[in-house]
């Protein structure tokens, strides 16, 4: 594989598993030195670092709670200490899928704190350290504009906020040639949402391609947006969902 991101400094939040882990592996394979965060599983993070290094890449893992404002701030300061950042991927997020009337305060607040405030904080802390031509990429969701059931209202709201944020920041950072884009995934086969899980048949029936996406397919779009080939793409929310939300 041609290393299109050779020696670039990248930060990926929520990189310990699922889509985030695939993004870490892909950016490292493209030549970036990737610092990624994980919430709780130190062993899984260590295994990811080992996989990256065995493939000839470079990565390190840092435990960070994206809902804690000080932790992303320290992460960015430490990651940029060698001269700056080139790529920031705001992937940390999550959701409790329940009708609004069944969501308790803790679940409601956690989605807002991590998906919205955590994303805003990461970007505002990182941008002063981004070199000209840097890339900011958020991992959103097709739920920002497509909710076929009654359990995604608050989660979808948080992802719609991210899509709006990206449009505004694209104008704000454009004069520095920093692009800001949003990757909106549909159903993707992960531990949290397996393609053979109890809800998979209903979701699969809504996807024209008839299958869940893979984490590597999402990571491929992230790697493209991080590359010089995508330098004119800015302020976009791009669905990677097999037509699920079309």
Catalytic: 38? no
Nearest CA to 91 out of 139, 159, 48 is that of: 139
- Strand 58-63 to 33-38 pairing: parallel
Alpha-carbon span 6 to 107, nearest angstrom: 40
Tokens, residue 186: 């549909």
Question: 25-39 burial string, b = 16+ CB within 10 Å, else e?
Answer: bbbbbbbbbbbbbbb
Burial class for 238, CB neighbours closer than 10 Å (0-12, 13-18, 19+): middle
Burial class for 195, CB neighbours closer than 10 Å (0-12, 13-18, 19+): middle
For residue 8, CA distances in Å to 86, 130, 174, 228 come to 6, 11, 20, 12
- Say which of 38, 155, 224, 244 is annotated catalytic: 155
For residue 8, what is the enclosing H or E element? none
Q: List strand residue ranges (DSSP E) for the chain, in order.
A: 9-12, 33-38, 58-63, 85-90, 130-141, 179-185, 237-240
Residues recognised as catalytic: 155
């Amino acid at each position: 594989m041609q290393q299109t991101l050779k020696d670039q400094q990248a930060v990926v939040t929520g990189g310990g598993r699922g889509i985030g882990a695939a993004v870490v592996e892909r950016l490292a394979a493209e030549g970036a030195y990737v610092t990624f965060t994980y919430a709780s599983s130190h062993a899984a993070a260590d295994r990811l670092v080992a996989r990256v290094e065995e493939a000839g890449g470079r990565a390190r893992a840092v435990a960070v709670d994206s809902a804690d404002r000080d932790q992303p701030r320290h992460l960015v300061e430490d990651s940029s200490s060698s001269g700056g950042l080139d790529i920031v991927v705001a992937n940390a997020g999550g959701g409790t899928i329940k009708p609004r009337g069944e969501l308790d305060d803790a679940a409601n607040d956690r989605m807002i704190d991590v998906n919205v405030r955590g994303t805003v904080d990461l970007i505002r802390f990182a941008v002063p350290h981004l070199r000209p031509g840097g890339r900011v990429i958020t991992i959103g969701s097709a739920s920002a504009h497509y909710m076929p059931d009654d359990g995604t209202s608050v989660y979808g709201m948080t992802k719609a906020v991210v899509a709006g944020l990206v449009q505004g920041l694209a104008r704000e950072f454009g004069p520095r040639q920093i692009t800001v884009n949003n990757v909106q995934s549909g159903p993707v086969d992960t531990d949290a949402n397996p393609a053979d899980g109890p809800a998979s048949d209903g979701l699969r029936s809504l996807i024209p391609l008839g299958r869940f996406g893979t984490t590597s397919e999402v990571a491929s779009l992230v790697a493209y947006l991080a590359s010089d080939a995508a330098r004119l793409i800015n302020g976009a929310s791009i669905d990677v969902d097999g037509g699920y939300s079309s």
